[in-house]
Chain A
C-alpha cells in the first residue's frame, strides 16, 4: 500500500520509526515548513491498528492516507511463519 503521513516536523523521526516497525519501505520525506509529509510503501497486513499508533506517537496531530499500490512477493521468513501457523491450525482442527 502507498501510505502518506502528514505530521508536524518534530514528530518526523517517531513516525518513521512506526512505519519501519511495520516493514515499510520509506520512499521519502518532504519538508513543508512546520509540517512534513512522509511517503512509504507498506504491506496491508501490517497496517491494521496504525491510526491508533500514529495518534499516540504524535499526540493526535498527524494524519495518513493509504491507497493500493502493487502486489509484492511475501518475504521468505513471513512465508515460513504463515506455513507453520497454517500447519498448527490444521493440527488443532484434527
Chain B
C-alpha cells in the first residue's frame, strides 16, 4: 500500500508523543499541550461547597451582611410603609449600595421592585448580576450560578422616563402586577427621582401607597457639592421632605474610601460601626 508522506503516524495524534512525530519535518504534527499541572492538582480542596445546601449559602450571605452591624432592629432596616434614602454625590455608589440592600432582601425571599428613571432594564439587570458576582467571589461561593437562579425570581425591574413617572401611573402598574398574581413586592427601590423639584405631595401619596401595600421604599438622592446644606447638615434636597423619611444613610468619600454613615434613624446616634464602600468592588465592607 502506498504511504502518504506526513500522515503515516496519523493514528498517534492523541496518543503519547512518539519519536516518529518529530522525525517528520515536512508535516510537523502539533499536539494539544495537556498541562500536567491540571492532572496533578490535588483534589482535597475542591470538595465540599458543591454539596452545601443553597439555603445554607443564602443564610451565610445574610449573616455576613455588614449592614447588620449598623444597629437596626431588623435585617430590612425599614418597617412596612417606611421610607429610606441613600444620599451621595454622583458616582459615589448609591446604586451599588441600593442593589446590595435589594440582594439582601432577595436572599431572604422578599420580593423587590426596582424602579429606575435613568437606566434601561438591561443596565439595571447588569448592576445586579455584577454586584452578586462580586459578592459570591468575595465570600468564595462556588455555587453562585445556582444561587442566582434562586434569587432572580424575587426581582422585578421597571423603568420609566423621568417626565413620564407619576404616583398614579406607578399605582396602576403595581395593581396590574398584584391582581394578576405576577409580582407582589415587599420592597421598592426608586432610583433617579429628581429631588430638586417640589415633590412633597407626590412622596406623601407614594407613602400612602407603600403603607397600603405593606412595602418599604428606598430612594437614591443625588446631592451636589456646591449646594449649601440646611440646619443640622441636612442636604438641600431633603430639607422639605425630611419628615417623610425614617432612615437616611449617607455615603461620604473620605480619602480613598467611601464611608457609610447613618444620617437619620436608629443607627445615627451613638457609636457607628466603621462601614465603608470599597471603591474597587463597590461592596459594603466592615473595616474593623
Residue ranges of A at the interface with B (Cβ–Cβ < 8 Å): 12-13, 16-17, 20, 25-33, 37, 39, 72
Known: A28-B125, A30-B120. A12 touches B164 (CB 8 A): no
- The digit string for B136-178, where 1 denotes a CB below 8 A from any CB of A, is 0000000000000100110011111100100000000100110
Q: By the criterion CB–CB under 8 Å, are A31 and B182 in contact?
A: no
List 22 contacting pairs A-B, 8 Å CB cutoff, sorted by A: A12-B176, A16-B176, A16-B182, A17-B180, A17-B182, A20-B180, A25-B153, A26-B182, A26-B183, A27-B125, A28-B121, A28-B124, A28-B125, A28-B157, A28-B159, A29-B121, A30-B159, A31-B160, A31-B161, A31-B164, A32-B161, A37-B121
Q: Is B197 part of the binding interface, using a Cβ–Cβ cutoff of 8 Å?
A: no
**Which of A17, A30, A33, A39 counts the most B-chain CB atoms under 10 A from its CB?**
A30
Chain B residues closer than 8 Å to A28, beta-carbon distance: 114, 121, 124-125, 156-159
Chain A residues closer than 8 Å to B114, beta-carbon distance: 28
Q: By the criterion CB–CB under 8 Å, are B177 and A16 in contact?
A: yes
Q: By the criterion CB–CB under 8 Å, are A12 and B173 in contact?
A: yes
Q: Is B181 part of the binding interface, using a Cβ–Cβ cutoff of 8 Å?
A: yes
Q: By the criterion CB–CB under 8 Å, are B176 and A13 in contact?
A: yes
Q: By the criterion CB–CB under 8 Å, are B158 and A20 in contact?
A: no
Q: By the criterion CB–CB under 8 Å, are B161 and A33 in contact?
A: yes
Give the number of residue pairs across the A-B interface with Cβ within 8 Å: 51
Known: A27-B125, A30-B120. A13 touches B180 (CB 8 A): yes
Q: By the criterion CB–CB under 8 Å, are A39 and B121 in contact?
A: yes
Nearest 9 pairs between A and B by C-beta? A28-B157, A13-B176, A28-B121, A31-B160, A30-B159, A30-B121, A17-B180, A20-B182, A29-B158
Chain B residues closer than 8 Å to A72, beta-carbon distance: 149
Q: How far is the CA of A32 from the CA of B114 in the complex (A)?
A: 17
Q: How far is the CA of A33 from the CA of B161 in the complex (A)?
A: 7
A26 shortest CB reach to chain B, Å: 6
Chain A residues closer than 8 Å to B160, beta-carbon distance: 31
Q: How far is the CA of A39 from the CA of B177 in the complex (A)?
A: 14
19 extra A-B contacts, CB within 8 A, seeds A28-B156, A30-B120, A31-B158: A12-B173, A12-B176, A13-B173, A20-B181, A25-B153, A26-B156, A27-B125, A27-B156, A28-B114, A28-B121, A28-B157, A28-B158, A29-B121, A29-B173, A31-B159, A31-B161, A31-B164, A33-B161, A39-B121
Q: How far is the CA of A12 from the CA of B176 in the complex (A)?
A: 9
Chain A residues closer than 8 Å to B156, beta-carbon distance: 26-28
Q: How far is the CA of A17 from the CA of B149 in the complex (A)?
A: 22
Chain B residues closer than 8 Å to A26, beta-carbon distance: 156, 182-183
Chain A residues closer than 8 Å to B153, beta-carbon distance: 25
